[in-house]
A and B are shown apart, each in its own frame.
Chain A
């Protein structure tokens, strides 16, 4: 029995001295030592030569491990029968007696036992087990059968058959090694599993000898070695494993394996993204692409293997990992994720509880007896009372709110389409709020109407939750924060946003406290990492706000400009830039579409130009956006309190800051109010509803008053009497009244809204049903008359739905359709009906009062037959010629898919970067 040691080194000078010492102790048993160096740039080669006293075979740096071994064997003495080769790495140190133990096993080995491997422990810890033989799972994962970081306590002492052993320390019959060879397609990583698998299929076996111990750095896998071959260890390891799977699996399994690799790869990539490991996620995708992108390589590998195989697949299957193993890993992964999330939440909770001390009471009882919870409960109940007419009926609509679509697919279509069959055809982008609405409605099991109803019904309690959290954080726990949160929570109803169907303001009021909270975290986070995470959170929040109320971004721009005047702002310029830039990417497809309609930036979610907007100074000061709302005097207490808050000296700094925010919002409000907004699809200039800015001003007032009011009663009761007590009393009473009377008004009068669940449209049901079923069964609605002109609206699928309005507002009217309608009214164009049919119009509908010109024109034109109309004095006609969509503007938006892709990437990036880090030690040991 002859033993040849084969050492391959590559930039391993860090470990070589110890490795060579270990080798030296086994020198007596070695008949021959061959050393190969693959272009080391450190002094590896010199070290090896000096220690072993042999000539080192020099190879170029690109040499794979397989080729290096082949070169070493070529340089060695010719093979002899019963010769064994001991493969060694420059980062693997054999333990004492390692070779002796292996040789002992080799001497007793039957002829078909071709390879023996030692137990491998971690170096430099020396205690942790790395491998006691390896195998591979169906997903290509390298399986060791060990727990993560398992200590070697002699629990794996049985010599047994395994699929493969690591090439580091492997003792292998030379004739087998030379016959089968290592696969040069696998650069370094994964050669062992592939070799073991082929060994098994060739009828040989492989055993691990746990009594022999080897210490391994795993330099290549961990990326601690400067290597010309391994640049992305994770990616290359994955690619190698997938290659191994595809090259060695039985042919019948191949298609299934390929599908599993693709699906599994995508799932793993998504999972890795979720735990903020974007690099590994990309590796995953690239590895799959690399392997599946070279089918020729796999075909060639399979050909070679077919020649070597002597044993059917069934005989080696027991060596592979069981089928359920990947699923167990998946479960482990989810558990890790859950643990990480709960740990973060717990930390958060602990930070907020710090200083409160521990209470012996159980948490639930403490929460239930808490005034905040009680107020929330009251607001919730009042919501149910105030919205009592909203429980059933058609989708919620009215005022500026269009009914939500019946299916969430409508929103997804709207968001993703390059062209919309709305009106006369449009390539305008969907409004930015469609994507968040679509996501939220999908989460609600595809119920858009439920989503909108919940938002409007529970706008107050929803706002309260965020506001209470924010005000407690700003001014501390106490009655002031509770009062301010209540005052804030009723803003959506008292400003008129809920009653007028202003979706943008409603959602913004709910989101704003959270967004502000994230922004505050940027400033007071403990670590730069946490501060950056808060930055991404803020940007994500601002992106959401911008989607619903683009004006929010303009306000953020103003705020940033002011912040840059401060030292903090200058120090955090990059973070502020991210906060401003990322929201633009989050609304990118819409942003690109507003290049010819900049007015859209001042228009919030909700149908623009439906209600007249004309608030006066007092309305704005007292928190009314104009239009139907609560009486303005209700807000007077808050304004007084906000003004008087300046009197208190020790909080003046914070109060002043709140007033600066109010001032910026007011300036923006003044600018917006002066602008007559011109949108292509809206026939007249209109003034934007600025409910959001009004909410910001009121929130700033509340903040100022809360700062000054926090603890003021206790403070004053201790001070001697002066003029300040009545003033403070006035402020407190005023502020309290605003909140309490606001809630009272809402409970009593809150149901008197423009929004409701009445019938969607006056169109006859048969028309809307036909229109919903087919785009070529549209309805042309004619209103108006001689006095104000005739207006036409082309309803492609019944009543327009929430989101459609944004597209239509950005779509210029088709002048050809105007001409067609004119010629119909003139009643003299025999081809008018055909032209209208070319727009896919099946019915013309004129609600009461119908102008004589409309009746006369349609009755006089050929191709229109009277159709039944539901009410007296309304008229309807059926268009007789066959309908088509030939005359629609069919140009799609060319670049939309690119913008959508960038938007999705931005959303994913923002979500991933604002999620907490996964606290799992081990993946990147």
Chain B
């Protein structure tokens, strides 16, 4: 090994000593300080990482604002039609006013809006016609209409608001959609009403379903149904109650007890065949009606099924489960009169409704998945409270509550959303009527408004 190499190795050894003496030095004050730095850093990052995660998200939903006011359109178009309207919050109890040629619009100011109600009643030809006055909506379904001489329906479309509305009417029949070219894009000026006779604009036989949608604005629609029972019978009239969007789960309420004939009508607005399963929810529990467990409806068509045998004199509702969203009704015929049962949304809060003066007025309540406890408050025509009654309904059963004779309007209070209810009216041989009780809140709310970001 030459001298330079030796010198280098000696230097390396010296450096190595320096290195060791410098690097293997024990932790001095400086080292402790650095370790404190490490500790604080990790603690700080851990604290920051554990900070609540909910912040930084989009604004949370805020309480809904109540609608400013409501307007009911009582369309009349029946002889001697009368509007029954009022509000629990307002003075004067129930008011009654005849509906003449024009639509009677019942406007309710904001303070009385939540507990307001309006219905129309008539006795055409000795039978009983009864139904709620509709409120503006963007979509309405009417199942059970007719477009022929024996069974014809008239749509009364009212636009009670200042802006113009544009309406499309679609008609479904037993064999699919009915061609009705004149029923699309109809402009209805603000504050005006138009009437459509299905027998003229969409002539067809068999059961029809009318679907009214707005591409602009909201309209109130009522359908007056003219029905001749038998070949030479008298024509009776009834309002077909409106229903909202199609659904694959329907609870039809308002089935009069012991009717002569009950027909289930199902409209399938979809593009695929609907298979509808039936279940009767009776006094003791649900059961499938023998031989009438299901119904198949072609796309765009209205199907029918006789369900008379499935229903007896006990209170019941009809539950439908469908493979695709459908709209349905049950037409009950007793004597010379008919009534329509419609799908009801679960009760929610305090629903207020008018009760016509008739022989018997029964509230038919069906509890859904859970036991339901409801309170029924009945009022006399003056507004005085007649009775306050608690109703307990076992899950999956239906109960009938008879309303006092003098009751002219009532409140149905449901703390939860566990029940659906319908009002069934029977007036001796003269006729029957039915109405689904709508949940209170939905029709009353507007979304909260705040500045976006």
Residues of A at the B interface (CB closer than 8 Å) are 423, 609, 611-621, 643, 646-650, 652-653, 655-656, 659-660, 662-663, 665-670, 672-674, 676-677, 681-687, 690, 697, 715, 718-720, 724, 781, 783-793, 813-814, 817-818, 821-823, 825-830, 851-853, 855-862, 864, 866
A736 to B422, CA, bound (A): 75
Q: How far is the CB of B335 from chain A (nearest CB, A)?
A: 41
Q: A874 CA to B166 CA in the complex, in Å?
A: 16
- Indicate if B90 sits at the interface (CB-CB under 8 A): no
Known contacts: A643-B38, A646-B38. The answer to whether A788 contacts B30 by CB under 8 A is: no
A-B contact count (CB 8 A): 231
Known: A670-B45, A670-B48. A856 touches B38 (CB 8 A): no
Chain B residue nearest to A610 in the complex (CB): B453
Q: B67 touches which one: A643, A653, A667, A826 (CB < 8 A)? A: A826
- Contacts A667-B40, A855-B138; is A659 near B57 (CB within 8 Å)? no
Q: How far is B216's CA from A621's CA once the two chains are assembled, in angstroms?
A: 55
Determine whether the beta carbon of B452 is less than 8 Å from that of A612.
no
Pick from A615, A672, A792: contact of B49, CB under 8 Å:
A615
Q: Is the CB of A859 within 8 A of B447?
A: no
Interface: B1 (CB within 8 A): no
User: Which residue on B lies nearest to A648, using beta carbons?
Assistant: B23
CB pair A860 B20 closer than 8 Å: no
A814 to B450, alpha carbons, bound, how many Å? Answer: 10
A674, A791, A864: the one contacting B452 at CB < 8 Å is: A791
Residue of A nearest to B451 (CB): A813
Q: Of A652, A789, A826, A864, which one neighbours B450 at CB under 8 angstroms? A: A789
Q: Is B232's CB within 8 Å of the partner chain A?
A: no
- Residue contact A662 to B449, C-beta cutoff 8 Å: no
- Asked whether B23 lies within 8 Å of A781 as measured between CB atoms, the reply is no
Q: Tell me, rounded to whole Å, the shortest Cβ–Cβ distance linking B215 to chain A.
A: 9
Closest to A614 in B: B53
Report, as a range, how many residues of chain B touch the other chain: 35 or more
- Whether the Cβ atoms of A783 and B45 lie closer than 8 Å is no
Most buried by A among B15, B16, B38, B165: B38
Kindly state whether residue B402 has any CB partner on chain A within 8 Å. Answer: no
Bound together, the chains give a CA A724 to CA B20 distance in angstroms of: 11
Cross-chain contact A826 with B446 (CB below 8 angstroms): yes
Judge whether B174 is part of the interface by a CB distance below 8 angstroms: no
| B68 pairs with A823, CB closer than 8 A | yes
User: Which A residue's beta carbon lies closest to that of B190?
Assistant: A862
In the complex, 21 of the A-B residue pairs with CB atoms within 8 angstroms, ordered by the A residue number, are A614-B53, A617-B48, A649-B22, A659-B37, A663-B37, A669-B45, A683-B451, A687-B55, A690-B48, A788-B59, A788-B60, A789-B450, A790-B448, A793-B453, A823-B68, A825-B449, A827-B162, A857-B446, A859-B163, A859-B216, A860-B161
| CB-contact partner of B59 in A674, A683, A792, under 8 A | A683
Q: Which 10 A-B pairs have the closest CB atoms?
A: A666-B44, A791-B452, A659-B37, A617-B49, A656-B34, A813-B451, A859-B217, A673-B51, A862-B162, A860-B161
Taking the closest CB of chain B, its distance from the CB of A602, in whole angstroms, is 12
Most chain B beta-carbon contacts within 10 A, residue among A720, A785, A829, A856: A856
Which residues of A sit under 8 angstroms from B37, Cβ to Cβ? Answer: 656, 659-660, 662-663
Q: Would A791 and B45 be within 8 Å (CB), given that A659-B34, A687-B56 are in contact? A: no
Asked if residues A612 and B57 are in contact (CB atoms below 8 Å), the reply is: yes
Least CB distance, A659 to chain B, in whole angstroms: 3
A785 to chain B: closest CB distance in Å?
6
Least Cβ–Cβ distance between A865 and chain B, in angstroms = 9
| B174 CB, nearest partner CB in chain A, Å | 31
> B44 — which chain A residues lie within 8 A by C-beta?
663, 665-670
Cβ–Cβ contact B41 & A786, under 8 A: no
Kindly supply a per-residue 1/0 record for chain B positions 415-453, scoring 1 wherever the CB is within 8 Å of any chain A CB and 0 otherwise.
Answer: 000000000000000000000000000000111111111
In the complex where A649-B25, A670-B44 touch, is A825 in contact with B162 (Cβ < 8 A)?
no
A617 CB to nearest chain B CB (Å): 3
Within 8 A of A (CB), among B1-45: 12, 15-16, 19-20, 22-25, 28, 30-31, 33-38, 40-45
Task: Please tell me if the beta carbons of B16 and A826 are within 8 angstroms of each other in the complex.
Answer: no
- List chain A residues, Cβ under 8 A from B56: 609, 611-614, 686-687
The contact of A791 among B22, B50, B450, by CB within 8 Å, is: B450
Q: Specify which chain A residues have a CB less than 8 angstroms from the CB of B42 in the assembled complex.
A: 621, 666
With contacts A617-B46, A617-B49, A856-B217 known, is A786 near B449, CB below 8 A? no
Which of A659, A697, A823: most chain B Cβ within 10 A? A659
CA distance A399 to B127 in the complex (A): 66
Whole-angstrom CA separation of A670 from B52 in the bound complex: 11
CB of B55, distance to nearest CB on chain A (Å): 4
Q: A719 vs B17: C-alpha distance in the bound complex, in angstroms?
A: 8
* CB neighbours of A697 from chain B (8 A): 41, 45
How far is B46's CA from A646's CA once the two chains are assembled, in angstroms?
Answer: 21
Alpha-carbon gap, A613 to B44, bound state (A): 17
In the assembled complex, the CB of A127 is this many whole angstroms from the nearest CB of chain B, namely 60
Cβ of A861: which chain B residues have Cβ within 8 Å of it? 161-163
B200 close to A (CB within 8 Å): no
> In the complex, what distance in Å separates the CA atom of A866 from the CA atom of B446?
21
Could you tell me if B61 and A787 are in contact, using CB atoms closer than 8 angstroms? yes
User: CB distance A684 to B31 under 8 Å?
Assistant: no
Q: Are B51 and A687 neighbours in the complex by a CB distance under 8 Å?
A: yes
Judge whether B23 and A650 touch: CB under 8 Å.
yes
Which residues of chain B from 283 to 339 have any CB-CB distance to chain A below 8 Å in the complex?
none
Interface contact B449-A790, CB-CB below 8 Å? yes
Q: For the complex, what is the distance from the CA of A382 to the CA of B31, rounded to whole Å?
A: 40
B61 adjacent to A793 (CB under 8 Å): no
* Contact A681 to B453, CB < 8 A, known contacts A669-B45, A784-B447: yes
Hey, which chain A residues are within 8 Å of B55, CB to CB?
A: 613, 676-677, 685-687
